[in-house]
Amino acid sequence: MKQVVDTKTNSGSTGEADECLFEYLHAEIVNYVLSLSLNTKEGKEDLSRLEWMGFSVGYKIIERLTREWSRFKDELDMIKFICTDFWCSLYHKQIDNLRTNHHGVYVLQDNAFRLLDKVGTSNSKQYLPESPRLLAFTCGLLRGSLANLGIVSTVTAETSTLPSCKFHVQVQRV
Amino acid sequence: MSRTGTKLEAKKVNSELFTLTYGALVAQLLKDYENVEEVNKQLDRMGYNMGIRLIEDFLARTGSGRCYDFRDTSEKIQTGFKIYLGITPTITNWSAAGDEFSLYFEANPLTEFVELPDHCLNLKYCNILTGILRGACEMVQMEVACWFVQDQLKNDTITELRVKFIKRLEDAIPAGED
């Protein structure tokens, strides 16, 4: 898979939110959601708001991205699009590894996920327990994007070593 | 697998990601708090937290030193908008004392896909910007106040952000809770 990402051109278009702006905003959103989660006084953090916000963003953004795109052949074609062009635009790199059992389960592995990249150096375990907070939004984003492409799914994330993570996409057949 | 003709524009997508994410946040806040004033306050507070981090990136990126005066500050704020949002607001309406100015925005990427429903007339949609400016200036020992005077979302012809110099902070105050 080869892909040329041109970050230098097109800068004069409608506007450019610089990269770190999104990261800071994301951090604040995570903080906000956690602050509400503390009030529930349950042992587990409630990240559903994050996931939901991600969903609504994914749902909207995919519509704009694929507007001038030719029709996808099938489900795998859509997932491939997510792994390459979509991921490149949003997170500045492709998904490193895509696995599937051809029965609706896809595992997308990113070895240096952008939102985890600055949290820990390679193989650091220090912030591993907190990493789900930084992934919930993107899980929602994936789910929302797929939903607007016509794929109903559940998306979960898993990290074993920072900054790499795996997103599990389970397609729900109806 | 090659597709012809179309290609995603990384910068543009990134900007839309920010715009839409911000929109999702505002929508969520409106859902969580019934009170629009409270939403304005939350946005400002989040902006403040972003600002105190953003200033470091700004200083590292531009290599700019201390501001000579408030006019210098205004130009640096303008540069900041150019760097981070790709827009260049006009600096205008200086007060006689030179401690207040306005930023005129003709286009605002934050509001690109936004229309305010009627029950949100008091919502300051872009209030995160006031927080960011306040937080960033505080980190360089300047206390400023800023607020929106006009807003295109409320059918004004232009969006106007007013910035007022309050005082110079003498000792570096550690970033405390707001």
ipTM: 0.86
State how far the Cα of A42 lies from the Cα of A26, in Å rounded to an integer.
24
Please state whether beta strands B90-92 and B142-150 pair in parallel, antiparallel, or not at all (unpaired). unpaired
pLDDT at B173: 60
A13 pLDDT band, cuts 50/70/90, is very low
Tell me if A69 and B25 make a contact (CB, 8 A cut-off): no
Say if residues A139 and A82 touch (Cβ distance below 8 Å).
no
Chain A: closest CA distance from residue B114 (Å): 13
Tell me if A22 and B24 make a contact (CB, 8 A cut-off): no
pLDDT at A15: 45
Smallest Cβ–Cβ distance between A61 and the set B1, B17, B84 belongs to B17
pLDDT at A125: 78
Tell me if A69 and B20 make a contact (CB, 8 A cut-off): no
A52 touches chain B (CB under 8 A): yes
Tell me if B20 and A60 make a contact (CB, 8 A cut-off): yes
pLDDT at B10: 64
- Asked if residue A86 has pLDDT above 70, the reply is yes
Chain A: closest CA distance from residue B104 (Å): 16
pLDDT at A92: 81
Across all residues in chain B, what is the average pLDDT? 87
pLDDT at B131: 95
Q: Which residues of A touch B62 (CB under 8 A)?
A: none
Chain B: closest CA distance from residue A36 (Å): 9
Tell me if B17 and A49 make a contact (CB, 8 A cut-off): no
At CA B104, angle to CA B103 and CA B106, rounded to 5? Answer: 145
Residue of B nearest to A59 (CA): B20
Amino acid symbol at B12: K
For A33-64, the pLDDT digits (tens) are: 988 876 665 656 788 899 999 999 999 999 88
Highest mean pLDDT among A13-27, A115-129, B104-118: B104-118
A5 pLDDT band, cuts 50/70/90, is very low
Tell me if B11 and A22 make a contact (CB, 8 A cut-off): no
Give start and end residues of each alpha helix (H) in chain B. Answer: 10-32, 36-62, 70-85, 127-139
Q: What is the mean pLDDT of residues A125-154?
A: 90
- Which comes out higher in pLDDT, residue B33 or B177? B33
State how far the Cα of A126 lies from the Cα of B68, in Å rounded to an integer.
43
Say if residues B59 and B136 touch (Cβ distance below 8 Å).
no
Residue of A nearest to B84 (CA): A18
- Which comes out higher in pLDDT, residue A110 or B119? A110
Q: Which residues of B touch A85 (CB under 8 A)?
A: 7-8
- Asked if residue B138 has pLDDT above 80, the reply is yes
Report helix, strand or coil for B91. Answer: strand
- Asked if residue A14 has pLDDT above 50, the reply is no
User: A1-10, A68-77, B66-75: which range is least confident on average?
Assistant: A1-10
Tell me if B46 and A32 make a contact (CB, 8 A cut-off): yes
Smallest Cβ–Cβ distance between A90 and the set B17, B24, B86 belongs to B17
- A24: left (phi > 0), else alpha (psi -120 to 50), else beta? alpha
For an interface test with A, which of B1, B3, B7, B178 has the most A Cβ atoms less than 10 Å from its Cβ?
Answer: B7
pLDDT at A68: 76
Which two tokens mark B4?
A: 């012809």
pLDDT at A6: 41
State how far the Cα of A139 lies from the Cα of A54, in Å rounded to an integer.
7
- Asked if residue A4 has pLDDT above 50, the reply is no
State how far the Cα of A116 lies from the Cα of A167, in Å rounded to an integer.
13
In A17-152, where do the E strands start and end?
97-100, 105-110
- Asked if residue B132 has pLDDT above 90, the reply is yes
Q: What is the mean pLDDT of residues A164-172?
A: 92
A13 touches chain B (CB under 8 A): yes
